[in-house]
Structure 1
Amino acid sequence: MLHKTKGIVLNYIKYKESSIIARVYTSEFGLQSYIINGVRSQRSKKGLALLQPLTLLDMVVYHKENKSDQLQRISEYKCAATFTSIPFEVKKSAMALFVTELLSKVLKEEDERGVVFEFLCHFVLELDQRKEGYESLHVYLLVHLTHFIGFGIHQKKELQQDNILQKVNTNFDLIYETILTMNACNLDEHKTIENKLRKDCLSYMINYYTHHIEGFNELKSLAILSQLFR
């Protein structure tokens, strides 16, 4: 049966000679893997341009529950929002890679997928549209995503009791205060933070995820992000 859904592209891998398997977070079905045939061929009208990290799609898909190979198929897809900066600015492209790698590790087919999708869609558009003050948006995402994956941050004591230790340039009270400030504000209210504090908050939140999610391992894109946001 065909279904209409919106999607956020996370990544893709090559499949056979001219096809790919794309991982897409959808508003209707959560995280899904789709076979897209012929998209890498010279005759393809769409190519891979619409399947770059964080691209927002309008999709018509075939969806079957409990598929043994967990691969679904797409009937139609088109761009739902035209980006003005993410594909063209190196820092934003690096942040997009970080975000898609993070989402690939933590998102599931959870019950709140519609709510999660709307939050992520808002985040992607905010990242693309901001001309400045976007440098710590990925830290904001890490903080707010905790509420959707089962261990939301609410109070300072929740951060303290986990006893997460790391080398920092700033004291832990400032890290806690910054994270809780991010936690309390809306995305359009969020202001970027200075470089050293941002790095410490990012490192802390990654350790926080490692502490709370079994099997949460290294984010390869973090090294690229660190080089660009010095």
Structure 2
Amino acid sequence: MLQTTKAIILRTTAYGDTSLIVSAYTERYGLQQYMVKGARKSSKKGSSMSTMLQPAAIVELVVYHNELKQLQLVKELKWAVVYQQVMHSIHRNAVALYMIELLTKTLRQPETNEELYAFIEDSLCLLDQCDAAVVANLPLFFSLKLAAMLGFRIDDDKPDGICFLDLQAGSFDTEPPIHGMYLDAALSQVAFELMQQDNAVTLYRIKLNQQQRRELLQGFIHFFQYHVADFGRLKTVQVLQEVLG
């Protein structure tokens, strides 16, 4: 049965001489795998499809959807959102690719979650339009909010005074844990401030230097590694840190 859905492209794999297998997070069906025939043809149509199937692209798909099949077939695709900067700005593209890799590591089941889809799409659209101060802090905000939406949020019930964020327990405490997997008091305070932001638009208010941003991001990645089975390492982090500084 033909169905239409918006989708965020996560990754592609070559299949045969001219086709692609596409992993995408869709608005209607959650995580899905699609066959896109002719996407690698050396033709104008093939080139156009390849451009629309880059990681982080937001497209509208017309698909043959069968819940009994693991691989669905794409009949048509077109842009749902046309970026102005994400695909061309080194800084914004580095953030987008980090966000996409984080999604590929954490999204495992084809479950519909329209709220999660909206959060991801809104984050990518904001990345395309926001100023540099928001771009730099967006990976931190996105990581925290994604964890919360996936069900292992950090408890923001923070005691008064000096506190430490325990990355294993996902909570703040007045004493550092003995296991060593925690953020120091200064970084814990920043993490708490990030968690209080309801919208990424306000991220410009949080002033961080290069070292703080790097240590926070590494801490959040450790949090994911502890809470997500077979999470592994993220390949995009080094480039992200070099680009954002």
Cα offset, 1:228, TM superposition: 1.8
Single out whichever of 103-112 and 71-80 deviates more from structure 2.
103-112
> Structure 1: which 5+ residue stretches go unaligned?
none
Cα offset, 1:47, TM superposition: 3.2
Aligned residue number for residue 144 of structure 1: 145
**Structure 2 vs 1, CA of residues 202 and 37 (structure 1 numbering), >3 Å: closer, same or farther?**
same
Aligned residue number for residue 166 of structure 2: 160
Cα offset, 1:174, TM superposition: 1.8
Matches within 5 A, 1:54-133: 54-67=56-69, 70-109=70-109, 113-133=113-133
Cα offset, 1:161, TM superposition: 6.9
Which amino acid in structure 1 is aligned with residue 42 of structure 2? Answer: Q
**Which residue, out of 174, 186, 208, partners 1:174?**
186
Which amino acid in structure 1 is aligned with residue 155 of structure 2? Answer: H
Consecutive aligned runs of 4 or more in structure 1 exceeding 3 Å deviation: 108-112, 156-159, 163-167
Cα offset, 1:152, TM superposition: 0.8
Which amino acid in structure 1 is aligned with residue 202 of structure 2? Answer: E
Q: String of CA shifts for 1:124-181, please: whole Å, max 9, x gaps.
A: 00001113211120111100011121211122479327246369xxx61122221221
Aligned residue number for residue 184 of structure 1: 196
Q: Is the 8 A contact 1:38 1:44 kept in 2?
A: no
Q: What do you get for the CA RMSD once the two structures are aligned?
A: 2.1
Q: Is the 8 A contact 1:30 1:108 kept in 2?
A: no
Task: Using structure 1 for the length normalisation, give the TM-score.
Answer: 0.90
* CA distance in structure 2 between the partners assigned to 1:91 and 1:187 by the alignment: 17
Which amino acid in structure 2 is aligned with residue 62 of structure 1? Answer: Y
**Which residue, out of 190, 195, 215, partners 1:200?**
215
Aligned residue number for residue 43 of structure 1: 43
Structure 1 vs Structure 2: percent identity of aligned residues? 27
**Structure 2 vs 1, CA of residues 123 and 161 (structure 1 numbering), >3 Å: closer, same or farther?**
closer
* CA distance in structure 2 between the partners assigned to 1:159 and 1:111 by the alignment: 31
Which amino acid in structure 2 is aligned with residue 141 of structure 1? Answer: F
* CA distance in structure 2 between the partners assigned to 1:74 and 1:214 by the alignment: 31
* CA distance in structure 1 between the partners assigned to 2:30 and 2:180 by the alignment: 34
Instruction: Specify the SS of the correspondent of 1:48.
Output: helix
Cα offset, 1:194, TM superposition: 2.2
Task: Using structure 2 for the length normalisation, give the TM-score.
Answer: 0.85
Cα offset, 1:106, TM superposition: 0.4
* CA distance in structure 1 between the partners assigned to 2:16 and 2:145 by the alignment: 38
* CA distance in structure 2 between the partners assigned to 1:229 and 1:136 by the alignment: 9
**Which one has a bigger Cα radius of gyration?**
2
**Structure 2 vs 1, CA of residues 105 and 196 (structure 1 numbering), >3 Å: closer, same or farther?**
same
Q: String of CA shifts for 1:10-41, please: whole Å, max 9, x gaps.
A: 11111110111111100111111111001111
Q: String of CA shifts for 1:92-131, please: whole Å, max 9, x gaps.
A: 1122221111101101346561000000111000001113
* CA distance in structure 2 between the partners assigned to 1:83 and 1:131 by the alignment: 15
